[in-house]
Structure 1
Amino acid sequence: MNTQLQFTKVKMKISKLGSEASLPDIFWDMQEKSKVKSKLSEYEEIFEGYGSVNTAYPYRQYNTYNRQLHTEEVSAAVLENSFLKATFLPDYGGRLWSLIDKVTGRNLLYTNDVIRPSNLALRNAWFSGGVEWNIGIIGHNPFTMSPLFTAEFLDEEKGPILRFYEFERVRKVSYQMDFWLEENSKYLNCRMRISNQNDTVIPMYWWSNMAVPQYQGGRVVVPATWAYTCIDNVLQKVEVPNNCGYDLTQYENINNQIDYFFDIEDKDSKYIANIDQNGYGLLQMSTDRLKGRKLFCWGKNEGSDRWQEYLTEEAGRYVEIQAGLGKTQYGCIPMAPNTAWEWLEQYGPIQISSGGTQNFDAAKGEVNDYVSSLIGGQKLEKILLETRSLSKVKGRVMYQGSQNGVMENCVRKKQEIPPISPHLDFTTADERYSEWISFLEDGTLCCPAPDKKPMEYICDEFIYDKLKSEVKAKEANNWYAWLHIGFYSLYKENFQEAKAALSKSNQLQENAWAKYGLSITAIAECCYEEAITLLESGIKQNRTDLSYVKESYKVLNKLKAVKVMHELYLQLPAEIAAESRMVLNYIIALKGIGEYQRAYELLMNNGGLEVDDIKEGEDSIGSIWLELYSKLYPKENAFVPHKFHFRSF
């Protein structure tokens, strides 16, 4: 059959995402990671820590979702030829959701049976399954739960082309992904492009994150003899395949949650494969720019099992294999000014002999030979070069994305510099920046009621400088202008300026937003009682905003303000108090004031509390159960119930 591209709807079981948080993501202390020690040599060049950020600012958190499922129609883009059927989800970061080998009828990817947000990403909400395209800042894509611009066009030689694109605010880059299936090909082509049209070097990050089935007797095959990993908070190199007495490429051997970043030599082909015990599975290949490959495994301890259950209904277990710009995900890599990075990836089936799967070296030898037969002689590099003009073809927009690109081009117009990626149409019905666009035009910023959720938070020096200039004149009495100056100053860690601006905002118009920001400046000054007082006042003023209350309680919990947490909880509206994280906060408060029996009863009510947004790496609920049980039943042996067991490390 001729290659076809169709835009359609598919029915899926999903949970409601909820709206974006009302507060900016500026409380970095809760997300602070201990610094990793390194045992690497001076020749590795993996840029540890370079480009790391404290929060997802200016992107807001998604922190009001729940786990209740319902069936809904979801937009899908389907590329199909005689050999492959690739289904993408435009509303979820352009995720490649399934890749069906039509010859065998098997899905080469792990496709979840639900889209149920869980707290594993930069912006909190994330779901497992498919291939996720992660850009900009370390971690999951800020757009992983958001629509991307989706376009199509026809190339006479390649056939229909599917394109996703967006503008990323932190690094200030546009990125696009062009997909096509040639008529007689068994491999999906993915042509990626990142454009840095800034005059400075920026930290850049990209990892294509493939969820694949955790096959019984399966293994990962990659052309490497060494891998980077972190053991006991020490970054080190280990031999592949044998480490700690077992073959790490046979992921069923791995006990605890871990990442392995494979060190592929420059001369070797860039690929990774996930194969079952019969030698069949997914092969991902790329041009040389995508030099890194990774295996992530949840492990097989009880916490690992709990996470695998928590993230799905009946889809089973998965592992992740990934491909990235850097050698590891411990840092970004520098991208030169006024530069475009492009590379080509291919995804498709592989079959090696079943005998070859029993031994890593044998499997690697067979896969190496197969890859050489497919892309030997720099074939992918040639395709990348030959399709350079294709990347600048304008497409017909099918679905719109955010107003980020429009806003960036408005700023660029004021600065008299060229617009971003002129071949990409950023026209959208999204109006999240409408008030900022008006401000750029006439220097007047709206002054809303203090109970209204703030608009987008700024992340641009030009707007910031203009705002500071205007508050010296006609915007001097605009509480809202001072608020945004304060939050951006917090993001820049300029605490004195932030405190002055937020204090001015609250002086002009008492508002819960400034109080939250001032609590963060108070913490920076080690004035913890002042921070608690500000948070308490802010919650009382904005107690019907679940997002606000949850973020404020996060800080109160960090400050161990259990008495205030307890008193405030009793004053919350019933629907806010009933939210699962808020119930956990109340249990923490009860435990803190010594009401162990009441706390334990609440924790165990209805078969045990299930927290909708339990965070990856968070062991709070298991630790709380253990502490309460030990207090109430000191003579009993305490074993954390499976439902509360999320410790997978």
Structure 2
Amino acid sequence: MKNEQKVHLWEEARQIPTYEVGEPNKNPMFLEKRVYQGSSGKVYPHPVIDKIHDQKKLKSYNLVIVENEYLRIEVMPELGGRIYRALDKTNNYDFVYYNTVIKPALVGLAGPWISGGIEFNWPQHHRPNTYGPVEYKLTENDDGSATVWVSEIDRMYGTKVTAGFTLHPGKAYLEIKAQLYNRTSQPQTFLWWANPAVAVNDHTQSVFPPDVHAVFDHGKRDVSRFPIATGTYYKMDYSEGVDISRYKNIPVPTSYMAYKSDYDFVGGI
């Protein structure tokens, strides 16, 4: 039997080329007549940032790294607690997209948002603090595993989430567990989702469970059959019958969410 190596856990500072963001708008935004991916566009009491600088410079970030004999996972508490890098050490392959430059785009609820890694979101799409700092804690567990904990209280609704990223000795997977708490006296709605980024090519295919036969756009603004689209979706004519699970068949940026499933997985190949 192969000897299982200890899971290592540590922090380190790293300089990363960064396009910095402008100062937050000093005037609070209470509620505009806008819809953000099917949700309300309000952000108060979060400040809104609407400027990204054009020149990059080196900026130091604190990274938390957990590593075993198979995987190296890098977590960035300063930018939403996202998984910045996920490396398969057996073949030196980044199995989620590793963006070596921090270059925000103004597509987040409160402004800045970055691509790459795995983004964790609550209580709605691309959460308001996706580009802000979160609390974190490192633990070495009795079974030899190690966990990076990240936690945040949402300023808009008062709910709290704690997520743990665990590597086990001898295991070639990352275990992620999340717990949401309602700290208020009123019922609160929430959405929890992880947004992994992957590099694509003409062979890339999205994999949904076999009982998924329809997909929705953000906010259920549009609907399509899946995987073979037979109508108009994102203003594209698929009436000839097009397999939209395959990246090469989608000519415009497109989102689709499974309508309903009794299974608990999605994937990509």
TM class, shorter-chain normalised? Answer: 0.7 to 0.9
Residue in 2 aligned with 1:206?
A: 192
TM-superposed CA distance for 1:240, in Å, is 1.9
Output one character per residue of 1:19-41: Cα deviation in whole Å (capped at 9) or x when no partner: 32211013503x347xx9xxxxx
Structure 2 residue runs of 5 or longer lacking an equivalent are 231-237
Tell me, in whole angstroms, the C-alpha distance in 2 between the residues paired with 1:252 and 1:130: 22
Output one character per residue of 1:368-392: Cα deviation in whole Å (capped at 9) or x when no partner: xxxxxxxxxxxxxxxxxxxxxxxxx
Output one character per residue of 1:149-168: Cα deviation in whole Å (capped at 9) or x when no partner: 01112220252221000110
Output one character per residue of 1:5-28: Cα deviation in whole Å (capped at 9) or x when no partner: 110122211012233221101350
Tell me, in whole angstroms, the C-alpha distance in 2 between the residues paired with 1:96 and 1:141: 15
Tell me, in whole angstroms, the C-alpha distance in 2 between the residues paired with 1:274 and 1:183: 26
TM-superposed CA distance for 1:220, in Å, is 1.5
Give the SS at the match of 1:143: coil
Give the SS at the match of 1:151: strand
Q: Is the 8 A contact 1:67 1:116 kept in 2?
A: no
Residue in 2 aligned with 1:77?
A: 64
Q: Is the 8 A contact 2:217 2:257 kept in 1?
A: no
2:97 to 97, 107, 110: 110
Is 1:217 paired with 2:221? no
TM-superposed CA distance for 1:263, in Å, is 3.5
Residues 228/158 of structure 1: CA separation in 2 closer, same or farther (3 Å cut) = farther
TM-superposed CA distance for 1:227, in Å, is 2.9
TM-superposed CA distance for 1:242, in Å, is 4.5
Identical aligned pairs, as a percentage? 22
2:131 to 127, 145, 155: 145
The code of the aligned residue for 2:29 comes to: D
More strand as a share of residues: 2
Is 1:11 paired with 2:10? no
Residue in 2 aligned with 1:92?
A: 79
The code of the aligned residue for 1:26 comes to: F
Tell me, in whole angstroms, the C-alpha distance in 2 between the residues paired with 1:77 and 1:110: 18
TM-superposed CA distance for 1:95, in Å, is 0.8
Tell me, in whole angstroms, the C-alpha distance in 2 between the residues paired with 1:195 and 1:247: 40
- The CA RMSD over aligned residues, in Å, is 2.1
Residue in 2 aligned with 1:443?
A: none
Tell me, in whole angstroms, the C-alpha distance in 1 between the residues paired with 2:165 and 2:144: 10
Superposed, 1:58-457 pairs within 5 Å as 58-137=45-124, 139-224=125-210, 225-230=212-217, 234-243=221-230, 244=238, 245-266=241-262, 268=263, 270-275=264-269
Tell me, in whole angstroms, the C-alpha distance in 2 between the residues paired with 1:89 and 1:223: 31
Tell me, in whole angstroms, the C-alpha distance in 2 between the residues paired with 1:6 and 1:246: 48
Runs of 4+ in 1 over 3 A off after TM superposition: none
Residues 255/57 of structure 1: CA separation in 2 closer, same or farther (3 Å cut) = same
Q: Is the 8 A contact 1:9 1:73 kept in 2?
A: yes
The code of the aligned residue for 1:18 comes to: G
2:25 to 18, 21, 26: 21
Give the SS at the match of 1:200: coil
TM-superposed CA distance for 1:272, in Å, is 2.0
Give the SS at the match of 1:104: coil
Pick 1 or 2: higher relative contact order, CA cutoff 8 A, min separation 6: 2
The code of the aligned residue for 1:262 comes to: A
Structure 1 residue runs of 5 or longer lacking an equivalent are 37-48, 276-649
> What is the total number of aligned residue pairs between the two structures?
254
More helix as a share of residues: 1
TM-superposed CA distance for 1:191, in Å, is 0.9
Output one character per residue of 1:491-532: Cα deviation in whole Å (capped at 9) or x when no partner: xxxxxxxxxxxxxxxxxxxxxxxxxxxxxxxxxxxxxxxxxx
Give the SS at the match of 2:172: coil
Larger Rg: 1
Tell me, in whole angstroms, the C-alpha distance in 2 between the residues paired with 1:158 and 1:198: 36
Q: Is the 8 A contact 2:202 2:247 kept in 1?
A: no
1:53 to 30, 37, 40: 40
Tell me, in whole angstroms, the C-alpha distance in 1 between the residues paired with 2:22 and 2:221: 38
Tell me, in whole angstroms, the C-alpha distance in 1 between the residues paired with 2:146 and 2:140: 4
Tell me, in whole angstroms, the C-alpha distance in 2 between the residues paired with 1:240 and 1:53: 30
The code of the aligned residue for 1:22 comes to: K
Superposed, 1:580-595 pairs within 5 Å as none
